[in-house]
Structure 1
Amino acid sequence: MTSRVTFVSPATSPSLRRARFYDGDSIDDSGAARAREAAGSLPVAARVVVSPSVRCRETATALGLDGVETPELDGLDVGRWRGRTLEAVAAAEPEAVALWLTDPGSAPHGGESVRVLCGKVGRWLEEAAAVEGRVLAVVEPEVVRAAITQALDVPAAVFWRLDVPPLTVTELSGRAGRWNLRLGRPLGEPDVN
């Protein structure tokens, strides 16, 4: 059986536009409009899941999807940095930010490490591989990054090298524990495969 997991990143929000660690804000009007325009462009799925964040739930709703909130797909917990800009944190705690960006096992913010997130998403991906039919997941960008590192079995340090723009589709397909990656299709563009 071929397993298929389609990830959709959320629409833009004020925190994303300001390079601020996500703090629970809603998607903005332009992001919501883009998501509504793309409604109906996604492949049919046997199962739809959503990160528990506000912006993922709102993106799913704007896309016309009714997904199950899945705690294992929650975004990276950045602890006390939540709501602060990366620039402000880097100015106040340059050593902590440098450590965080170079050591996937570190969590100087008091939240979770990239390595912990990758492990959590990897376990979820193993379960998703057993689903008959496609799984569609509206998830935080860091969840997409974690899924890619796990699916391709690359070091967790690769996590920071992966850009996941808003409202894009990243697809994994495979069988017998071997995944293939298709990434970066803008939401709303037809699937040519």
Structure 2
Amino acid sequence: MTSRVVLVSAAMSTSLRQARFDDGGSLDDGGLAEARSAAGTLPAAARVLLSPSVRCRQTAAALGLHGVPAAELAGLDVGRWRGRALDEVGAAEPEAVGRWLTDPDCAPHGGESVRELCERVAGRLAKARELEGRTLAVVEPDVVRAAVVAALGLPAAVFWRLDVQPLTLTELSGRAGRWNLRLGRPPTG
């Protein structure tokens, strides 16, 4: 049996455009319009899952998808940095940000570490491997990064070196104990 997982990264939001840690805000007008224009272009799926964030739920709705929120697909918990701009946090806590960006076990913000996120998402991928049919998941960019790290057995230290564009598809197909990867295609067919 071949398992297929298509990860759709959330459309553009104001916080993403401003390099701000997600604050639970909505998609911006451009992101909403782009997602609406991509409605009907995604492959059929046996199930649709969502990161529980506002922007993922709005992206799914704009794409015409009805999904189930999955807590294990939530974005990285950045604790007290939530809603703050990366530049602002970097100026106030340069050593903490430096450690966070280089040590996957570090969580100076009081949230979760990159390694913890990667392990959480890896657990969800293991469940997907057991399911028949395609799983479509609208998720945060950091969840896509964590899925790629897990699927390819990469060290968690490469997490920040993976760039995920808004409203792109990352496709995983797995069988015989391994995943294959197709990165970053737009949702246009």
Task: Place the TM-score, normalised by the shorter chain, in its bin.
Answer: over 0.9
Matches within 5 A, 1:13-162: 13-162=13-162
SS in 2 for 1:184: strand
Give the Cα–Cα distance (whole angstroms) in 2 for the partners of residues 24 and 161 of structure 1.
25
Give the Cα–Cα distance (whole angstroms) in 1 for the partners of residues 58 and 177 of structure 2.
32
* CA deviation string 1:160-179 (max 9, x = no partner): 00011100000000102200
Normalised TM-score (structure 1): 0.97
Normalised TM-score (structure 2): 0.99
* CA deviation string 1:140-184 (max 9, x = no partner): 000000000000001001100001110000000010220000001
User: What are structure 2's unaligned runs of at least 5 residues?
Assistant: none
Asked if residue 170 in structure 1 is aligned to residue 180 in structure 2, the reply is no
The answer for the alignment partner of 1:10 in structure 2 is 10
One-letter amino acid matched to 1:102: T
Give the Cα–Cα distance (whole angstroms) in 2 for the partners of residues 108 and 176 of structure 1.
38
SS in 2 for 1:172: strand
One-letter amino acid matched to 1:15: S
One-letter amino acid matched to 2:140: E
Give the Cα–Cα distance (whole angstroms) in 2 for the partners of residues 181 and 158 of structure 1.
16
One-letter amino acid matched to 1:107: A
Give the Cα–Cα distance (whole angstroms) in 2 for the partners of residues 180 and 105 of structure 1.
26
SS in 2 for 1:26: coil
User: What are structure 1's unaligned runs of at least 5 residues?
Assistant: none
SS in 1 for 2:185: strand
* CA deviation string 1:78-115 (max 9, x = no partner): 00000111101000000000000000000000000000
Give the Cα–Cα distance (whole angstroms) in 1 for the partners of residues 85 and 38 of structure 2.
30
Structure 1 runs of 4+ aligned residues shifted over 4 Å read none
- What's the RMSD between the two structures over aligned residues? 0.6
- How far residue 25 of structure 1 moved from its aligned partner, in angstroms, is 0.2
Give the Cα–Cα distance (whole angstroms) in 1 for the partners of residues 15 and 123 of structure 2.
28
Give the Cα–Cα distance (whole angstroms) in 2 for the partners of residues 154 and 119 of structure 1.
12
